[in-house]
Amino acid sequence: MIKLENVTKIYKGDIAALRDANVNIDKGEFVFLVGASGSGKSTFIRLLNKEEEPSEGRIYVAGKDIGSLNGWKVPYLRRNIGYVFQDFKLLPNKTVFENVAFALEVIGRPAHVIKSQVPAILELVGLTKKVDSFPGELSGGEQQRVSIARAFVNRPLILLADEPTGNLDPATSVGIMRLLDRINRTGTTVVMATHDRGIVDTMRRRVIELDKGHIVRDQSRGVYE
Amino acid sequence: MALNVRYVARETGTNLRRNFSLTLASVVTVAVSLTLFGAALVFAQGVGNMTARWKGGIEFIVFMQPQASQEQLDSVKSTLEDNPEVKSVTYIDKAAAYEEFKQLFARSKDMIEAVDQEAMPPSFRVAPSNSDADVIAALGQQFEKKAGVREVVFAFETVRTMQRVTRIASIVIVAVAVFLLVAAVLLILNTIRMAMFARRREIEVMKLVGATNWFIRVPFMIEGLVQGIIGAVVAIIGVQALNWAFDRGLSNNRDLKIFQGFVITGGQMSFTTLLLIGLGCAIGALGSGIAVSRFLDV
């Protein structure tokens, strides 16, 4: 599903965020990216979404070499990739329903599809009672559920999550992880960057550890350290 | 790219409302510049119609009797052509004279109905090689007594002044209008930039969930186009109003007889209207095009 071949990413000023990375992630896997701040976790995720271009090497997503993808095709790549952020990135002037519907609307989905899919996904994330609330009226955990609903409403093949529990307390984080686990069980590949030792150690999934841009560990059913 | 008309209309409407004062500024600037532009054009057309027969250095016209014989016409013609003081002669036959008459008196239908083509005097338009007023007067007067000649009409000094003033005025007005058009483009550009800034979070989310670049761009481009078109419509109303006021004020003024020939034909007005709409679209498209390509990183 995801393959990195000798991928190096060097930012301006010779700062290497990723060095000669080789990774193969199969369909349906759940992968934790761990490492200190600045170790290259976010770069790893941004490369998969083609927000960044690798300096060297090739990246395959869903069988396609995304380095050779034309600019106008990038939106179609992103329709196959859900994206969840630490800071949620919800639109404050739209309700929960509208925030999720927006993701379908802007990729041209017809109204009847939106009407049936949005309530279904909000039920999955457990927010049926909050459809008409605005993000400012929700707790952090609820906001992250909306963000996950938005990322998953289009049923992407891959879900990328960049520190999704970074702003949440441990109890709320457990709920979010249960949700991501549930999404993973539907066959969606999940790649999650995190600092949260407790989560990684409890879930016991594949762990890729990065240190100054190098992959120093790639372990199935791993722990944080 | 599956553009949803309702979505685009809603987004464009929201943008226009959100930056109402800037939108208004753009529309007013477009309207004022295009009104000036249109008014200058219409005025030049009107003066052109009014002084059509005095174009190209024509200083006097020898009008023949409508019933003048072919020999009389030939005689006057050859005398004119053989005169070394004459640079060029143009013969206007009855049909051409009637066409011109109809344009000149387009405002008075009963006048046109009262006259038919046979009653029109054929004429010779003469451009002398010497521009000295006395020489021209002497030259023209030679023909007043010739057989078949009805009268010799000299270009009024007012016609010459009119042509000169109109030319200068048109250039000045158009120059001002062009500056305002540039201002209008910049204002539209800034309005759209503000709209993009206000929507930066939405644009970010749209990019991440896979909205196509055109889907993101189109509402902003339409926003600029709408501003240009509204401005053009206001300008068209303005030009029509000015034309109407001019018509009432000057053309019916008996002391300024020359303005009775000041007439804008329907064709010329349609041309001006289309031109203004076209310019409005062009300004809007240019402003939003620059804004979208420079400030929208999609």
Cβ–Cβ gap A75/B211 under 8 Å: yes
Question: Could you tell me if B100 and B92 are in contact, meaning their C-beta atoms sit under 8 angstroms apart?
Answer: yes
Q: Which of B3, B201, B210 sits opposite A78 (nearest CB)?
A: B210
A chain contacts of residue B205, beta-carbon cutoff 8 Å? 89, 91, 102-103, 150
Q: How far is A129 from chain B (nearest CA, A)?
A: 24
Task: With CA atoms as reference, report the closest residue to B292 among B15, B17, B27, B34.
Answer: B15
A chain contacts of residue B296, beta-carbon cutoff 8 Å? none
Q: Find which of A99-108, B179-188, B255-264 is predicted with most confidence, using mean pLDDT.
A: A99-108
Q: Give the DSSP letter of residue A52.
A: S
Residues 27-56 of A with CB under 8 A from B: 49
Residue recorded with tokens 């600019």 = A71
Q: Which of A49, A72, A106 sits opposite B211 (nearest CB)?
A: A106
Q: Give the mean pLDDT of B266-295.
A: 90
Q: Does A98 touch chain B (CB under 8 A)?
A: no
- Gap between the Cα atoms of B269 and B45, Å rounded: 9
Which of the residue ranges A50-64, B19-33, B57-71, B272-286 would you say has the lowest mean pLDDT? B57-71
CA B289 distance to own-chain centroid: 28
Q: How far is A188 from chain B (nearest CA, A)?
A: 16
- Gap between the Cα atoms of B196 and B203, Å rounded: 8
What is the percentage of chain B residues whose pLDDT exceeds 90?
Answer: 16
- Gap between the Cα atoms of B212 and B233, Å rounded: 32
Q: Is B151 left (phi over 0), alpha (psi -120 to 50) or beta?
A: beta
Do the strands A15-25 and A2-11 form a parallel or antiparallel pair, or are they unpaired?
antiparallel
Confidence label for B3 from pLDDT (cuts 50, 70 and 90):
low
Does position B160 have pLDDT exceeding 80, yes or no?
A: no
What is the percentage of chain A residues whose pLDDT exceeds 90?
Answer: 85
B chain contacts of residue A105, beta-carbon cutoff 8 Å? 4, 7
Cβ–Cβ gap B211/A107 under 8 Å: yes
For B246, residues 6+ apart whose C-beta sits below 8 A from its C-beta are: B43, B46, B262
For residue A93, what is the nearest residue in chain B, using CA coordinates? B202
Which of the residue ranges A186-190, B110-114, B145-149, B266-270 would you say has the lowest mean pLDDT? B110-114
- Gap between the Cα atoms of B231 and B228, Å rounded: 5
Q: What pLDDT shows up at residue B158?
A: 64
Q: What pLDDT shows up at residue B117?
A: 81
Q: What pLDDT shows up at residue A74?
A: 92
Q: What pLDDT shows up at residue B157?
A: 66
For residue A77, what is the nearest residue in chain B, using CA coordinates? B210
B chain contacts of residue A79, beta-carbon cutoff 8 Å? 209-210
State the pTM of this model.
0.72
Residues 101-140 of A with CB under 8 A from B: 102-103, 105-108
What angle separates helix B266-295 from helix B157-198, to the nearest 10 degrees? 30
CA B113 distance to own-chain centroid: 28
| Residue of B1, B11, B203, B205 to mutate, interface with A, max A Cβ within 10 Å | B205
3-state DSSP call for residue B92?
A: strand
Residue recorded with tokens 């060297």 = A56
Cβ–Cβ gap B3/A105 under 8 Å: no
Residues 62-91 of A with CB under 8 A from B: 71-72, 75-79, 81, 83, 89, 91
Question: Could you tell me if B29 and B187 are in contact, meaning their C-beta atoms sit under 8 angstroms apart?
Answer: yes
3-state DSSP call for residue A33?
A: strand
Percent of residues in chain B assigned helix, strand, coil, to nearest 5: 70, 10, 20
3-state DSSP call for residue A159?
A: strand
Residue recorded with tokens 């999704």 = A164
Chain B residues with CB within 8 Å of chain A CB? 1-4, 7, 201-202, 204-213, 215-216
Q: What pLDDT shows up at residue A70?
A: 87
Q: What pLDDT shows up at residue B261?
A: 59
Confidence label for A113 from pLDDT (cuts 50, 70 and 90):
very high
Do the strands A206-211 and A214-219 form a parallel or antiparallel pair, or are they unpaired?
antiparallel
Q: Does A15 touch chain B (CB under 8 A)?
A: no
Question: Could you tell me if B173 and B35 are in contact, meaning their C-beta atoms sit under 8 angstroms apart?
Answer: no
Q: Which of B205, B208, B215 sits opposite A91 (nearest CB)?
A: B205
Cβ–Cβ gap A103/B3 under 8 Å: no
Confidence label for B18 from pLDDT (cuts 50, 70 and 90):
confident
Q: How far is A78 from chain B (nearest CA, A)?
A: 5
Residue type, B163: Q
Which of the residue ranges A81-90, A183-192, B71-80 would you say has the lowest mean pLDDT? B71-80
Cβ–Cβ gap B215/A76 under 8 Å: no
Q: Is B159 exposed, middle or buried (0-12, 13-18, 19+ CB in 10 A)?
A: middle
Does position A59 have pLDDT exceeding 90, yes or no?
A: yes
Q: Which of B1, B7, B209 sits opposite A103 (nearest CB)?
A: B209
Cβ–Cβ gap A89/B201 under 8 Å: yes
Q: Which of B201, B209, B215 sits opposite A78 (nearest CB)?
A: B209
Q: Give the mean pLDDT of A66-71.
A: 89
| Residue of A69, A106, A121 to mutate, interface with B, max B Cβ within 10 Å | A106
Q: Is B249 exposed, middle or buried (0-12, 13-18, 19+ CB in 10 A)?
A: exposed
- Gap between the Cα atoms of B289 and B283, Å rounded: 10
For B255, residues 6+ apart whose C-beta sits below 8 A from its C-beta are: none
Which of the residue ranges A75-89, B65-79, B136-150, B202-216 would you say has the lowest mean pLDDT? B136-150
Which of the residue ranges B75-79, B224-228, B246-250 would you say has the lowest mean pLDDT? B246-250
Other C-beta atoms closer than 10 Å to the C-beta of B198 total 14
State both tokens at B14. 């929201």
Q: What is the pLDDT of residues A114-156, one digit of tens each?
A: 999 999 999 999 999 999 999 999 999 999 999 999 999 999 9
CA B7 distance to own-chain centroid: 39
| Residue of B5, B17, B207, B209 to mutate, interface with A, max A Cβ within 10 Å | B209
Does position B1 have pLDDT exceeding 50, yes or no?
A: no
Position with higher pLDDT, A164 vs B43: A164
Cβ–Cβ gap A103/B215 under 8 Å: no
